[in-house]
Amino acid sequence: MAKLKTDLLVIGAGSGGLSVAAGAVQMGAKVVLLEDHKMGGDCLNYGCVPSKALIAAGKQAYALQHGAKFGVADVKPKIDYAAAKDHVASVIETIAPVDSEERFEGLGVNVIRERGRFINSNTVKAGDTEITARRIVVATGSSPFVPPIPGLDKVPYLTNESLWDLRDLPKHLLIVGGGPIGIEMAQAHRRLGSKVTVIEGDKAMGKDDPELAAIVLDQMRTEGIAIEEDAMAQEITGKAGAVTVKAEDGRVFKGSHLLMAVGRSANVNDLGLEEAGIEFDRRGIKVDASLRTSNKKVYAIGDVAGQLQFTHVAGYHAGVVIRSILFGLPSKAKQNHIPWATYTDPELAQVGLTEAQSKKEHGIYSEVYRFPYHENDRAIAEGKTTGLIKVMVVKGRPVGASIVGASAGDLIGFWALAIANNLKMSGIAGMVAPYPTLGEVNKRAAGAYFSPRLFESDKVKKVVGFVQRYLP
């Protein structure tokens, strides 16, 4: 049994683990990185990257069928689903070297391709190696949650992991789960030629602002996607090519393929967490504000930490723990400035509090300011006028922003910056956006905050009148 001692041991080579390992080794720490599956984790291989590549293929197919309003004749595209999957594979292959074992070994990280398991508070066994570390970061991510629906174990089904192996276009794709993964894949497959039914036990896109979510869902229904809400799956039967989902209220849905997209489970099993005195539950490893576990030598970041499950959150967590581990400085993770987006068409993005949350938390001090896409010149020029922005303001500072529309995922970063730095609306209104851009949507939303204060104020009008009469 080989034995190693190191400054930092990172378990998991997904987004968060790779960020910790790269940052720590380049600042002089000795780092060991464990990964028993694919470098790059879920995001590169099964999540963000492949899903956005397939969405891009769907957008291209949709655009070919909707060019008439621009003077470009509509055409029915010839879609090759296998070739679209080749595009997905090519995108992964292009990005993969950045996350590769070779790159990290080149940086000086000792990469061991084995599963790690704690054997005591600061030692992990990986294959035939025992690694003792001053500090350990658990970054094992999450996996698709598959609920124990009667009959599901006897029927072939897909998850966001196995979906990418499929080479033949599903004739009729049933998707159980109306969250971001289910909704994104529903629209992508519909645009590539599948018939699609989304089966959601509650409300589709239920964690988002309902007004904005309705705009996305209306577009999906317009495209021919069936969104079946309040349809809790009770039983699943069938075989390959013929699957049936029966809901508790008696509704029955039949399709050729089944995609389970009901959420994620933190990867906490078979890590020996009990041996290290690390507390955890079904949601993940329990951490404090500094992302430390009940074992003060061990941190948990990303999906496994039981907080927001986004790739960029894992990257943010990496920065938090590096500050603490390498420099011994106090460092805490916050969530109020973390944005997220669902990459449908139109996109939907959120940072901070929604309108309902702001009103509940701040009461009469919560104000909401809106601006519609159909009044933005760039949106008009490009025929992307469906959408709006809502900004929640408390005592002159934004506490949340919700955007639905073209490039919402890009536009939300502006408000994430504002909230992270506690900016006032006056500072935001001072920003000058180039014309014509969708970025003016943000500027105009900030302007909506000041319009009533300037144009509807008797006090302002009296001051202006005085100046005009008496100023030389």
Q: Mean per-residue pLDDT for 176-201? A: 98
360/363 Cα distance (integer angstroms):
6
| Amino acid 372: pLDDT | 97
Q: Mean per-residue pLDDT for 37-47? A: 96
| Amino acid 448: pLDDT | 87
Q: Mean per-residue pLDDT for 179-192? A: 98
Q: Mean per-residue pLDDT for 359-379? A: 97
Asked if the model's pLDDT at residue 458 lies above 90, the reply is: no
Q: Are 433 and 385 in contact (CB under 8 A)?
A: no
pLDDT in tens, 62-115: 999 999 999 999 999 999 999 999 999 999 999 999 999 999 999 999 999 999
pLDDT in tens, 418-447: 999 999 998 888 899 999 999 999 999 998
191/354 Cα distance (integer angstroms):
30
Classify 412 in phi/psi space as left (phi over 0), alpha (psi -120 to 50) or beta.
alpha
Dihedral pair phi/psi, residue 288, rounded to 5°? -95, -170
The separation between the first and the last C-alpha atoms of the chain, rounded to the nearest angstrom, is: 90
Q: Are 14 and 317 in contact (CB under 8 A)?
A: no
134/151 Cα distance (integer angstroms):
47
| Amino acid 130: pLDDT | 97
Q: Which residues pair with 3 in a beta bridge?
A: 130
Q: Give the percent of the chain with pLDDT over 70.
A: 97
| Amino acid 39: pLDDT | 97
| Amino acid 335: pLDDT | 93
Asked if the model's pLDDT at residue 34 lies above 90, the reply is: yes
Asked if the model's pLDDT at residue 328 lies above 70, the reply is: yes
pLDDT in tens, 209-224: 999 999 999 999 999 9
| Amino acid 461: pLDDT | 67
| Amino acid 455: pLDDT | 58
Q: What is the DSSP letter of 375?
A: G
| Amino acid 291: pLDDT | 98
Q: Mean per-residue pLDDT for 169-180? A: 98
Structure tokens of 252? Answer: 């029955």
